[in-house]
Copies of this chain bind each other. A is one copy, B any other.
């Protein structure tokens, strides 16, 4: 029978070991521009420079998913981090897994709030983009450059089911 995984709220504490939660909460604040701007400073560890890599800004337009979301595979980027921030002012799903001898273990699912992004650390297993309910755009900062930067793994057996 398919294993059900209940989604949890995304927080820095819950996401330890997988990368960064990109959010203003708890961030270093700098008042700049003659007092007209607050800078929430340096919210993610961008790690893309190895092996001749360079940072890219792209926009991802994700088709929507709905609960229960079937998880049959995971991927990881061995050469660079990958940051996602929602532009649609909507929550989205973040699914990651610990590595177990070169394969993803049991998935963990988080609901990112509309004002939270994530930065998957280099080589962390994660599911491709999971927008919810409506087509949604995201701003992405990841790695460009030569090299094989994608590993994918299909789980054997029944899909995992992400439920609310």
A-to-B contact residues, CB < 8 Å = 22, 24, 27, 32-44, 46, 48-49, 54-63, 65, 83, 85, 87, 89, 115, 117, 119, 128-129, 137, 139-141, 144
Contact = CB atoms under 8 A, between A and B. Distances in A.
Contact of A128 (B33, B38, B44, B49): B33
Q: Tell me if A's interface is mostly helix, strand, loop or mixed.
A: strand
B62 A37 contact: yes
17 contacts: A35-B63, A37-B63, A39-B59, A39-B60, A39-B140, A40-B59, A40-B61, A41-B58, A42-B57, A43-B58, A44-B57, A46-B55, A46-B57, A48-B55, A55-B141, A87-B87, A117-B139
A44 B40 CA distance: 22
B24 A59 contact: yes
A65 B36 CA distance: 9
A85 B35 CA distance: 20
Contacts of A59: 22, 24, 27, 39-40, 43
B62 A128 contact: no
B22 A41 contact: no
Given A36-B129, A129-B36, A54 B58 contact: no
Contacts of A56: 41-42, 46
A49 to B, nearest CB: 7
A33 B129 contact: yes
B22 A57 contact: yes
Contacts of A44: 57
